[in-house]
Structures are given as C-alpha cells and as structure tokens.
C-alpha cells in the first residue's frame, strides 16, 4: 500500500515485521532550478505539496519503525534483552549494565 505520492504506507501495528525499512529521502524536485529559470514566479504549489508529503511519509515511516522496538513506556525492550544476555554470558557485569540503563 502507498500514500498518494507513492511513498510506502505507514505501518500502524508495532508487531508488523513486514514493514518496509526506511530508506534515505531524496528531494523530488529541484526548486533552485525553478527559481533560476522563473525568477519572477512563485514556487509551484503542487510540487511543494508533494515535497512536504514525501517528507511527512518518511518521518511517519520512521516513527512506525521506532514503535516496533520501543515500548509504550519509552524503554527499548530489545536493547534490554540484549543487555540481560550480555550479563548472563559474562560479557559485562550487572553493575556495568545498570550503569548503562540508568545513565
């Protein structure tokens, strides 16, 4: 599914592991070229709308991907499990891990 401008649709379910990975966002239109060739005209509004929508879609996709790894309370469950595993394997001590978690 796509947005009106062809960007990936936003995934609302944090447990949806089939969500597309965020990709670098490139400009859709070169406004400097327009300005140089049409110095007395305003920027094309439809292109501005597309550019803004493209950015909004990218930000929203990134937020939805973050929701997959961040708990409702702001913690990072995946990171917490990794830390617990590192402690269990003796890679770091519990005190070192507590220092990381508690800042």
pLDDT in tens, the chain (103 residues): 444 444 444 444 444 445 566 678 888 999 999 999 999 999 999 999 999 999 898 888 888 888 777 777 777 776 777 888 888 888 888 888 888 877 6
Is residue 29, in this structure, part of any structural domain at all? yes
User: Is residue 38 domain-shared with residue 77, that is, in the same domain?
Assistant: no
Q: What is the pLDDT of residue 80?
A: 74
Residues 31 and 57 in one domain: yes
Distances, alpha carbon 52 to alpha carbons 3, 57, 92, in Å: 13, 9, 45
Q: Are 30 and 64 found together in one domain?
A: yes
| Dihedral angle over CA of 88, 89, 95, 101, nearest 10 | -80
Instruction: Quote the number of domains for the chain.
Output: 2
**84 shares its domain with 64:** no
């Amino acid at each position: 599914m796509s947005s009106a401008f062809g960007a990936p649709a936003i995934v609302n379910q944090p447990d949806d592991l089939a969500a597309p990975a965020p990709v670098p966002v490139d400009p859709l239109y070169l406004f400097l070229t327009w300005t140089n060739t049409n110095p007395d005209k305003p920027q094309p509004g439809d292109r501005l709308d597309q550019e803004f929508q493209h950015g909004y879609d990218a930000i929203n996709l990134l937020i939805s991907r973050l929701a997959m790894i961040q708990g409702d309370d702001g913690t990072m469950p995946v990171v917490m499990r990794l830390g617990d595993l590192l402690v269990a394997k003796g890679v770091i001590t519990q005190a070192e891990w507590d220092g990381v978690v508690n800042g």
